Amino acid sequence: MARKYHECLDDIGNRIIEVGYRKAKLNGTKPIDEINKRWESMFGTIYKHTPKRPKTDGLSNLLSKVLEKF
């Protein structure tokens, strides 16, 4: 069954937030800075407050690898 466009965007957004939290932990930076660094290039807007970390729901490994390169 085909996924709806907004569901795909939700998955991408959640993955960016998850990667931002992981990168912040590795680099010792703030999660909001890491998230906005990736978020702004894709969606054009930035978060003013750190979003809550999404619950992992088994996102595809391919999407993970693509987003890690940003």
In angstroms, rounded to a whole number, what is the distance separating the alpha carbons of residues 63 and 61? 5
Rounded CA separation 21/14 (Å): 11
- pLDDT score of 1: 47
CA distance 36 to 42: 10
- What's the confidence (pLDDT) of residue 7? 79
The tens-digit pLDDT sequence of the chain (70 residues) is: 466 777 787 888 888 888 888 988 888 888 888 888 888 887 777 777 777 776 655 555 556 656 666 5
Alpha-carbon distance of 9 to 5, in angstroms, equals 6
Quote the tokens at residue 22: 């992981």
What domain range is 28 assigned to?
5-68
When divided into structural domains, the chain yields a total of 1
